[in-house]
Structure 1
Amino acid sequence: MDIKVDDLTGSKVAELVGEHLQGMTMHSPPESIHALNLDALRKPEITFWSAWEEDDLVGCGALKELDAEHGEIKSMRTSSLHLRKGVAKRLLQHIIEEAKRRGYRRLSLETGSMEAFEPAKRLYASFGFQYCKPFSDYIEDPNSVFMTKEL
């Protein structure tokens, strides 16, 4: 699997980000959706990666710098055609390694509280993420859970 920084201009990446947003809309009320669209992912504080197997886009993920010591995982998504192949695990490993390389002391994330998000929560927990209170600009929301990991 080849994981590379992506400029978010390719049609396959746009489709996968669209799939991600659609999935969030299916499982979360509008006020609880914190997924970013293409324009929001292009902000300078966000690094976006795409994961490829030859010409197939298999997944994506992003790292948002909250401050010099704290990063947030955003836009983790495995293509629906490549589920259960270890894509999310590899992307998460990559993002954690990058966060450590940058000198972050903490890595956090927000995800949904509904059943559809259970696989994601299990993955994060398997990497040592623990449930926490809202961070950054998030507020308590019964449709969200927050997780964090000391690096």
Structure 2
Amino acid sequence: MLTFKLAQLDNPQVIALLEEHLEDMQATSPPESKHALDLGGLRGKDIQFWSLWQGELLAGFAAYKRLDDNHAELKSMRTSRQFKQRGIATKLLLHILNEATLHAFKQISLETGTMEYFAPARALYLKHGFNYCEPFADYQLDPNSCFMTREIV
């Protein structure tokens, strides 16, 4: 059985998965195009962070950042290696979309990479109603970034 937990940013498994995530982002994106939040960034007052657990094992995590009363940004979604290809990314994304709906956001947007490494993520977002868009918030046009958004009904 899978269970979502709010925060858990002090848990060693969460910290280790976040470090793995940041290392992969550093390996695949140039520094000026890396927008993943570190542990301190995920503790920000406008961030809501969830971890997904199967018993004592971390399956993944996801977060959103409140941009304004109507708009949120999907941040730092990651599946643990031992849970890959088991639908965890979909569960994380659907949870974020549900939480954004419960908090009355009208739109959710994201930035992800243009490299082949990010192709599965882009496919997942397209499958769940995201469309490509112009940069939002403080983002700038960048050949290594693509931007996606969707309305929340």
1:48-96 CA distances to partner (integer Å, 9 max, x unpaired)?
Answer: 0001011110100001000000000001000112111010100100000
Residue of structure 2 equivalent to 1:71: 72
Residue of structure 2 equivalent to 1:127: 128
% same residue: 49
Structure 1 residues 2-151: aligned runs within 5 Å? 2-151=3-152
Q: CA RMSD in A?
A: 0.6
Indicate if the aligned counterparts of 2:63 and 2:75 stay in contact, CA closer than 8 A: yes
Query: Structure 2 counterpart of 1:2, which letter?
Result: T
Query: Structure 2 counterpart of 1:75, which letter?
Result: S
1:21-59 CA distances to partner (integer Å, 9 max, x unpaired)?
Answer: 011011100110000000010011001000101111010
C-alpha deviation, 1:7, in angstroms: 3.7
* TM-score, length-scaled by structure 2: 0.97
Query: Structure 2 counterpart of 1:100, which letter?
Result: T
> Helix, strand or coil: the match of 1:43?
coil
C-alpha deviation, 1:126, in angstroms: 0.4
Runs (4+) of structure 1 exceeding 3 A deviation are none
Query: Structure 2 counterpart of 1:136, which letter?
Result: A
Structure 1: unaligned runs, 5 residues or longer? none
> Helix, strand or coil: the match of 1:67?
coil
Indicate if the aligned counterparts of 1:63 and 1:72 stay in contact, CA closer than 8 A: yes
Count of matched residue positions in the alignment of Structure 1 and Structure 2: 151
Indicate if the aligned counterparts of 1:59 and 1:87 stay in contact, CA closer than 8 A: yes
